[in-house]
Structure 1
Amino acid sequence: MKVKLRILTAGVLFFTGQAVLAQKDTTKVQNIEEVVVVAYGVQKKSTLTGANVQVSAKQIEERPISNVLSALDGAGAGIQIASGSGQPGDGPTIRIRGTGSILASNEPLIVVDGVPFPGNLNSINPNDIESLNVLKDAASTSLYGSSAANGVILVTTKKGKKNSTRVTLNSSTGIISRFIEEYDRVGPADYYPLAWEAMRNGRVTSKKGSETLAASNAWASGVLIKDNLKTNVYNVPDDQLVVNGVLNPNAQLKYNDFDWADAVIGVGLRNEHNLSFSGGSDKSTFYSSLSYMKEEGYVIKSDFERIGLRLNADSQVKSWLKVGTSLSGTISSGENAVDGVDSNASFINPYRWTRTMGPIYSVYQHDPVTGERLYGEDGSVLYDSGGMRGSSAASGRNVVWETLLNKNTTNTYSMQSNSFLEMKLLPELTFRTNVAYNFSGSLNKTYGNKLIGDALGIGSASRTTYFRRDFTWNQILTYDKSFGDHNFTLLAGHENSEYKYDYVYGSKRNQILDDQYEFENFVDNSSISSYFRRRSKEGYFGRLNYDFQEKYLLEGSIRWDASSRFSSDTRWQSFWSAGAGWVISKENFLANSKYINFLKLRGSYGEVGNDGLDTFYSYRSLYELGYNNGTEPGTLLTKIADPIVSWETKAQSDLALEFELFDRRIKGTFEYYISETKDLLLGSKKTLTGGINNNEIETNIGSMVNKGYEITISADVIRNENVKWNVTGYGTSYKNEVTKLEEPYINGTKKLSEGKDIYAFWLRSWAGVDATDGQALFLLDAEKAGATPADKLDERTVNGQSVTTNQNKALYEYHGSAIPDFFGNVSTTLNVKNWELSAAFNYQFGGKIYDSNYANLMDAYAQGGALHTDILNRWTTPGQITDVPVLNSSYVTGPAAASSRWLVDASYVMLRNASIGYNFNKDVVKTVGVNSLKLFVSGENLWMSSKRKGLEPYANFAGTTQNRYSPSRIITFGLSTTF
């Protein structure tokens, strides 16, 4: 039967075409046991001895995500997410059961359709994903050996189904806006008096005893604008703007456009359309898809556009021979806003400068008398170049103007191919080989304008390109045999891979013609560089699974791996695991239980490895070229290596109890694990380094352990023909400890030492504010106490404590950790007839975060930078109890010093996503040739409660903040239909 369709989607997509209705499948399938994807195969879930979390296609398909990994946010216990930035196309950072390495990678291994995948997952359309499986312990990951220390994420793409034909159309339109609100900051009416107060107090300090208070007040009024803030936005003379600390009551604003964020932050749109065609016959299946996605960020000049094509096909050529292939290609492009992490304090970081710009400076030029905005002869907006700003307000720069004039675009091309051949050599023996080739290439173009900024007067351009290629080939034999109640599966395989990376960078300066950005339009060669990297791996592996009546379970795995990162003497190492399980519910004493439907105890132990160093040549000393003496070439020894450096090894123990109760209405897992990293890769300075500055020899000198427990509970609160309501909760708690370290060392706000965790804060101990004079106080380090009365002038005793106003004498101590006490997710789904409602909340209790963004807004002396409203609580009067020190231009270093003052509780609760959908009755939609039709509304990042407005408590695992592109709120309207 052929029909014509014309569908108007919520994404405003018009589709007209022909469709062939799928043949009705009348096959009745009962008592199918759930099968999950495991390393190099599939396995019944009930027979697993390892920890495996699965996310299905249904959990992914309606979420407006551009990176597959975002679907793992809240997916299961033990999975910790640091949210990706709001930059379109970015994905999150993931930790599985904590951080296990200090110097090497902590990223999990990504495996797509059975083959390791080194590319960016934003090149894979989330709608093409059939399932995601997160392997968390050694029993489930050890077959990946040296790559599995940080867990494994298995990505399985969709396949066709036999004897069916299906066309699926998904289309949606979304609205993108900023999610994290900005910090509260004071306005102009408060800002001028606060700056005046700091100047006056500083004058009193510097002129102590030689000038009256009235004279100091008059001095501050006279120089507030001239010598500090430079700009007066009120209609009164500069020296009359603030008198005796009070804003002139007759002052009126000449203009009021001081919020720089309004000029760069707005609302973006997201459109996504996916069309797939799948099906098959008795012997062959196929799945093909075409996808398009365009996402505009809420920050100007940030977007991501992707078009992708996929074809998965397989065929049973002979009764003993099956072949298949998976081909996909993606083209993506986008404008890149400054990410804010790698350029946290940069003048072109829009997040920092819109946040910290004082509330008296405008993006635009204004008439200094009337306050009217000025325009060019052609009517164009004139931007303020910053000549009349205070020293903390980016004088001579304009981040909005520069963002509009500069360019940063990236085009990426990627292709993945994976072909397999499967032969049935004997009824019990199968041979399968996979050959995969992945390619991606990228070209980034930047332009720095010549009107304002770093390339002022000359202009600049750069080009960065890379080509990444990797080839993987594996061969696997599987023997599957049963002898009565005894079931055996034996797997043996070999795998080798090669990774190549070419990189080229070039830049030129001195632009000739306007509006031309290619290299030919620039005169001077500024820089050019290139390099080639190559890495190879090889491994032999095997696994034995045994069960008796699927009641008693045993599993063992081993893998021998070699990595070209290490020398021939140390590159081979074995990794292994052993697991056991007992399905207690199959015992006679529980076989007829009305309450316990499934009960399994499982445990495992194993060792996996990590070679994820930044360098591909860790065992080789390195030299750098370019240190020439005139025409004589020169090289410089830049790094000395340990020739016998080798793998980090992670030993993992796991014990879990799985259960299903009350007619499977309640399901859950209680799990405890210990994960110890041995031979930890760290930098050592104890060996002679040949005079190389800052050289550290990377070697195996430490160990670290994570211990934790995980809880999963899922309950069908209501389950009948018309209403289904499920509530599922995940919870995780773990502790980290460095158990062996050559010597303690400080890393930013942390100090690594034996007995402490890697995210333990090591900071000056803040002691509050002295109520007598408002000075910032720190606990005094007894070893730094002054020896003479003159040396003790900055020391005091307050409330029985020895304190100091000198931050250089402050006592450093540990002040908690960034690791939360407990974190997880609670989700619920409600189905009422044709309606579906779902919501998921992420939560975190405990842990601390060092809020440097807030610290930057609490300056004791405003010189053009913004101030948080908490500054209004500053000390002003003797005897006043407050936690904000006095404003004083003579005392700015102490209050601003890194200390425990800036730590805040990192707890939060967040509505991560929610959706509501309606499924039309099939009898209704079939009249127009459609098998199913669903309309839905979904949202990401909808609400959050944290300890401070503006705080982003889940930005990273280390508990620090950056001026970064914070995550987006996305509201999506769409439809899903099959025919």
Structure 2
Amino acid sequence: MEQPVKRLLSGRARARKSLLLLICMLTVFRGTAMAEKQTNKISLNVTDQPLEKVFKKIEAKTDYVFWYKMDVLKKAQHVTIKVNNEDLLQVLESLFKNQALTYSIEKNIIAIKEKQANELSGAMATAAILAVIKGKVLGEDGSPLPGVTIKAKSNKAFATTDEHGLFTIKVDAGETLIFSYIGYQPAEVVVKSEEALTIIMKPSFDKLSEVVVVGYGTQKRANLTGAVATINYDKALENRPITNPSQALAGKVAGVFVSQNSGSPGGDGATLRIRGFGTLNNTDPLVLIDGIEGKLSELNPADIGSITILKDAASASIYGSRAANGIVLVTTKKGTYNMEPVLSYNGYYGMQQLGRKYDRINNSVEFMNLWNSAVVNSGGDPLFPRNMMNDFGNNKDPYLYPNTDFYKEIFRTAPITEHNISVRGGAAKQNFFLSANYLSQDGIIRQTDSKRYGVNFAINNKLKDWLEVGGRVQITRKITNSPVDGIDRIYYIMSNGGYPFIAPYTKDGRFGATQALKPDGSPIVDSRNPLPDLYDGNSQYVNNFFRANLNATANITKDLTFKTMFTGQSNNNRRDKHNQLNYVYTAGGIQGKVLDYPSQITLYRANNEEFYWVYYNTLNYTKSFNNVHNFSVIVGTQAESYQLKPMSGQKSDPPKAGLNEVDAGTSNVQAGGNTTEWSMLAYFGRINYNYREKYLLEANLRADASSRFRQGNRWGYFPSVSAGWAMEKENFIKNIAAISQLKLRASWGQLGNQNTNNSDGSVNNYPYIGAVTQTNGTSYTAGGQFAPGAAITGLVDPNISWETTTSTDVGLDVGLFNNALSVELDYFNKNTDQILVQLPISSTLGEVSAPIQNIGKMSNKGFEFSVNYHSPEYRSGFSYSIGANITYIKNMVTKFRADAPDQLWLIREGMPYKMLYGYKSVGVFQSDKEASEYMRNNGYIPKAGDLKYEDVNGDGKLDYKDKQSLGNTLPKYTYGITLGANYKNWRLNIVTQGLAGISGYNQSAWTTPLGISGGTLLTRWKDAWTPDNHSNTLPRIVVNDTWNRYESSFWVQNMSYFKIKNIQLSYQLPASLLHSIRFKGGSIYANVQNLPSFTSKGYLGFDPEQNTFANGSTIYPTPVITSFGINLQL
């Protein structure tokens, strides 16, 4: 047995050496910071001891050495001091406080000398005029903080709080006191007079002791065993012009990707993905606001306190069927007991501008030349005569010969402003939080704007020592205006026309028409001025949102707590639309109509009433046995119900323009309405156990019943287990001072999904019930009488049930140098089975929809890595931070019907979800001979200048057998980088986000030259193939082209990008200035948000940060926002 034991010991030694080597390497990374600031902590407990003995104790516990003459110490008084893990400088201040000695520090040498006579007399004189300041220091919860260090900024006055949080210090009036305490943010207060002070200190970032919001409760971060990420939203949001809470998450968290798909005022169209796409249905994560399902867009960002993201099954399974796509837990702000009310204001004003755009040809002569070439390539004669082009080239009159840039006519620089005011505080038995918000945002597209008004009030009362009750009310009203058909119609006209030879207006202010006219004054091509559509009536969306909850917490015993909550919310949406009849005019006064323009005025109103309620109860038992065996058990039940009642009506042809109410219409009467609803019931439980917070175990189980499935299939059961090992508490590691945390985690669990989508993307709340529809198409007229008819229009599978996602996660959390450097690494494998899918069916069955069935499978596996470093504050007052995260995901559809159609966004077994599928472009034919030989057996023979597609099987023709993978529409890599720097009162923060390994399909009216009988032209097409320019990258331009517009790799572009989401510079106003105007705190700031992305060469589009399941041709561009603001606390 001796040899094995020796080998084991030597193995442990080698492991320990390897670990020490790693620590040394990481120490080099941190070397500069450690060199510039001494961070020695020391504990002393001496009573009536001479200074010499105390010096020796300090030398034994630190790297410092004392230099002094023995006769100097003869004049020193004995000292008594008791400190625990105190900063050395503060200990020295205490030691020399009443001594006739002083000290100086040079590197690691502390030199002792006698005070000069003038120093002593000066000190005595100062003491005679000092004010005695008394006060108390409390935490946010109102509890006293003992051991807080209080230091005068301009001299060496020093004090600490006692066990009751009380302190006394002698300083001049007007002095600034600095309060510091381990685990709390430093605070500064200006002394006004000998008035008593009450200081509330906020916790600082302490990763291990941080309390994290989890499902139906909280846990210490050190005891977490699942993949959980938290964001201090106050800090993430601080001084940023964020209109939607999701914007603050971008680039911050590994495994979480936020895409802002729209810059529309009042809504950013954001999609939030946690660890990729896990289903063929809705992949949005479940958002819980104070424990209740909601939407991030319903919240005023300034009302959010923190956000927790549950990424794996172990952390999310307590929410069961709702958790397959991850959980976002939002905790809103509330009051604080024993806190003097604090009034806060934050407001900013900014300007928004269009960033990246399609590079259109805005010169009429260049446009006409290319169009003529395209017509000739199609076998026709040039449309635009040379003399007309000469007139446009000479630019005689901008109304007769325009060179219009419609970007300038449609887009604008638009203002945005927001104001937030709140008051927060509390007494011994009550606390409150009240906020009001106003946001006004004009869109960068004219005729678009939004306004939001909101109020949020929360109150809590301690009715008894064991009973707390509270409630919250949120009211929001949002009004959004846009053109009658949104921006889609504007883009349709602008990208299918909007030619530069169209005058936007005539001299007398009417909408202009094309000025490329035939001799008889008629247009050579159809007029497509987008401005009549832009100013065509109005579409107004009004949303009134109301949410209220009541909650109570009863501490039945010191270990047993009961909590109950009821929440109800109402969401009323109204949309009013009316158009008007606009015309265009040539410079000669000839009236015309815009292509596809409506021929009658229609008045429309729709109203949706939503009501949702949820009621849950939990019973939580927590017990610790000698701080060794620690248990926590929670059980609960939840019921929820949702109802939607939409209705709409419209009429046409009011007797007079300007009569915009539906009742004014005289024809084309239409009306509709229905009701949809669902409900759920759940039981859940969780058990946590840890041994000395070293070995951690957790188990969850939830049972859900959903009305979306028939009886017998309604219940789903979702278990999970997880474990953790806090290795930093082991004897062979805990004495390594550099290691603050070293935790290994592992989890397994199952989650569910009940959201079933129809083929058009709408939610199906009754997928197991056959639908009977009555329409005009199913009715008939017999004998002059109308006979209503009905038909079964949807097939169903009555046996459908839950989708199930099985997830495995293994993670490692590392914290070094008191968690100044932290690293998190996770590997995950997520498999979704029984995916609810609506497949295409044969047309022989008639006009019926396919049934939704449990027939799909999908897998997502990958890793996450994040690293964060927070430097100490150097003596110069400078500090910095850097964070980076990256996520890799491999997605694959593992089961789907084999004969799924060959569609562009393909769903097929063995391939990534919605992979791009088509022909591979391999160049351009340089001669007719080359084209005819290559496509020798094809029905259509391409010509010189046409795209050349890869003939995969070499049969001389192009068909489905030649189609292949063209790229992934889901990113393989997502990443983010955050940078921060502080210098005295200045702060600089930068947030970035990016993705890689993703492609998009960009064939649209913007990018395709001269679509069906017309269209836009980008500057790239000036380099298209011609007989004189044998390009091998861009084909020839042909009107009504078909061959070159096949779904091919030519139209696929790299959508990888790197984007600076926000640059912020702020200045903390000096305490003396704030004191003079009676404010407790304040700052001014400047922001630049949504800077244009760094993309691959040749990228075409407004912004690559968009939905890649579409061509991006109708997105509302995300504006670049420059803003300035102020933040004040009174």
Same fold, TM-score > 0.5, yes or no? yes
Residue 154 (str. 1) matches residue 329 (str. 2): yes
Alignment map for 1:255-274 (pairs within 5 Å): 255-274=401-420
Alignment map for 1:35-74 (pairs within 5 Å): 35-56=211-232, 57-74=234-251
Partner deviation per Cα, 1:571-593 (whole Å, 9 max, x = no partner) = 10101111110111111111111
Residue 544 (str. 1) matches residue 687 (str. 2): yes
Partner deviation per Cα, 1:267-316 (whole Å, 9 max, x = no partner) = 11111111101101122111001111111111111111111111111111
Residue 786 (str. 1) matches residue 929 (str. 2): no
Structure 1 counterpart of 2:497, from 353, 357, 361? 357
Alignment map for 1:761-780 (pairs within 5 Å): 761-773=916-928
- Tell me the residue number matched to 2:513: 384
Is the Cα contact below 8 Å between 1:53 and 1:134 reproduced in 2? Answer: yes
Alignment map for 1:628-643 (pairs within 5 Å): 628-630=779-781, 631-643=786-798
Is the Cα contact below 8 Å between 1:332 and 1:412 reproduced in 2? Answer: yes
- Tell me the residue number matched to 2:561: 430
Alignment map for 1:443-592 (pairs within 5 Å): 443-451=574-582, 456-484=598-626, 485-592=628-735
- In structure 2, what is the Cα distance between the partners aligned to 1:797 and 1:312? 66
- Tell me the residue number matched to 2:740: 597
Change (3 A) 1:81 1:747: farther
TM-aligned CA deviation for residue 337 of structure 1: 4.7
Q: CA RMSD in A?
A: 3.1
Is the Cα contact below 8 Å between 1:357 and 1:393 reproduced in 2? Answer: no
- Tell me the residue number matched to 2:752: 609
Structure 2 counterpart of 1:332, from 462, 474, 478? 478
- In structure 2, what is the Cα distance between the partners aligned to 1:450 and 1:248? 30
- In structure 2, what is the Cα distance between the partners aligned to 1:319 and 1:663? 37
Structure 1 counterpart of 2:1066, from 902, 909, 917? 917
The alignment partner of 2:451 has SS state of: strand
The alignment partner of 1:942 has SS state of: coil
TM-aligned CA deviation for residue 886 of structure 1: 2.5
- In structure 2, what is the Cα distance between the partners aligned to 1:392 and 1:540? 70
Deviates more, 1:26-35 or 1:462-471: 26-35
Change (3 A) 1:333 1:394: farther
Q: Structure 1, unaligned stretches of length 5 or more?
A: 1-20, 204-218, 226-237, 366-372
Whichever residue aligns with residue 885 of structure 1, its letter is P
Is the Cα contact below 8 Å between 1:108 and 1:149 reproduced in 2? Answer: yes
Structure 2 counterpart of 1:757, from 912, 937, 956? 912
- Tell me the residue number matched to 2:10: none
- In structure 2, what is the Cα distance between the partners aligned to 1:770 and 1:490? 72
Is the Cα contact below 8 Å between 2:272 and 2:284 reproduced in 1? Answer: yes
Change (3 A) 1:629 1:581: same
Alignment map for 1:95-494 (pairs within 5 Å): 95-102=273-280, 104-117=281-294, 120-164=295-339, 165-185=341-361, 187-203=363-379, 220-221=381-382, 224-225=383-384, 238=385, 240-241=387-388, 254-337=400-483, 348=489, 350-357=490-497, 359-365=499-505, 373-375=506-508, 380-384=509-513, 395=526, 398-451=529-582, 456-484=598-626, 485-494=628-637
The alignment partner of 1:458 has SS state of: coil
- Tell me the residue number matched to 1:674: 829
- In structure 2, what is the Cα distance between the partners aligned to 1:860 and 1:804? 32
The alignment partner of 2:1091 has SS state of: strand
The aligned length equals 898
Change (3 A) 1:931 1:900: same
The alignment partner of 1:426 has SS state of: coil
Residue 87 (str. 1) matches residue 264 (str. 2): yes
- In structure 1, what is the Cα distance between the partners aligned to 2:874 and 2:947? 71
TM-aligned CA deviation for residue 385 of structure 1: 8.2
- In structure 2, what is the Cα distance between the partners aligned to 1:359 and 1:869? 13
Is the Cα contact below 8 Å between 2:617 and 2:636 reproduced in 1? Answer: yes
Structure 2 counterpart of 1:859, from 1009, 1023, 1031? 1009
TM-aligned CA deviation for residue 356 of structure 1: 4.3
Partner deviation per Cα, 1:59-99 (whole Å, 9 max, x = no partner) = 11322122222222122011122213111121311111011
Structure 2 counterpart of 1:895, from 1008, 1027, 1044? 1044
- Tell me the residue number matched to 1:368: none
Change (3 A) 1:632 1:600: same
The structure whose residues are more often strand, as a share, is: 1
Partner deviation per Cα, 1:483-517 (whole Å, 9 max, x = no partner) = 12011000000000000111001111012122120
Whichever residue aligns with residue 691 of structure 1, its letter is L
TM-aligned CA deviation for residue 676 of structure 1: 0.5
Of structures 1 and 2, the one scoring higher in RCO (CA 8 A, sep 6+) is 1
The alignment partner of 2:1093 has SS state of: strand
- In structure 1, what is the Cα distance between the partners aligned to 2:949 and 2:476? 65
Whichever residue aligns with residue 571 of structure 2, its letter is S
Partner deviation per Cα, 1:738-759 (whole Å, 9 max, x = no partner) = 1111324247522221111113
The alignment partner of 1:872 has SS state of: helix
The alignment partner of 1:146 has SS state of: helix
Is the Cα contact below 8 Å between 2:391 and 2:401 reproduced in 1? Answer: no
The alignment partner of 1:354 has SS state of: helix
Change (3 A) 1:744 1:952: farther
Whichever residue aligns with residue 898 of structure 1, its letter is E
- In structure 1, what is the Cα distance between the partners aligned to 2:446 and 2:335? 41
Is the Cα contact below 8 Å between 2:919 and 2:950 reproduced in 1? Answer: no
TM-aligned CA deviation for residue 130 of structure 1: 0.3
- Tell me the residue number matched to 2:151: none
- In structure 2, what is the Cα distance between the partners aligned to 1:27 and 1:961? 49
- In structure 2, what is the Cα distance between the partners aligned to 1:145 and 1:726? 37
- In structure 2, what is the Cα distance between the partners aligned to 1:441 and 1:799? 54
Identity fraction in percent: 27
Q: Which has the larger radius of gyration?
A: 2
- In structure 2, what is the Cα distance between the partners aligned to 1:822 and 1:862? 38
- In structure 2, what is the Cα distance between the partners aligned to 1:391 and 1:589? 91
Change (3 A) 1:879 1:62: closer
- In structure 1, what is the Cα distance between the partners aligned to 2:1031 and 2:597? 49
- In structure 1, what is the Cα distance between the partners aligned to 2:948 and 2:1036? 19
Whichever residue aligns with residue 704 of structure 1, its letter is M
Partner deviation per Cα, 1:594-622 (whole Å, 9 max, x = no partner) = 32211111011101111112111011111
Change (3 A) 1:153 1:971: same
Residue 811 (str. 1) matches residue 962 (str. 2): yes
Change (3 A) 1:438 1:143: same
Whichever residue aligns with residue 763 of structure 1, its letter is G
Q: Structure 2, unaligned stretches of length 5 or more?
A: 1-194, 584-593, 757-762
Is the Cα contact below 8 Å between 1:859 and 1:896 reproduced in 2? Answer: no
Is the Cα contact below 8 Å between 1:778 and 1:806 reproduced in 2? Answer: no
Structure 2 counterpart of 1:953, from 1104, 1122, 1128? 1104
- Tell me the residue number matched to 2:857: 703
- In structure 2, what is the Cα distance between the partners aligned to 1:821 and 1:463? 44
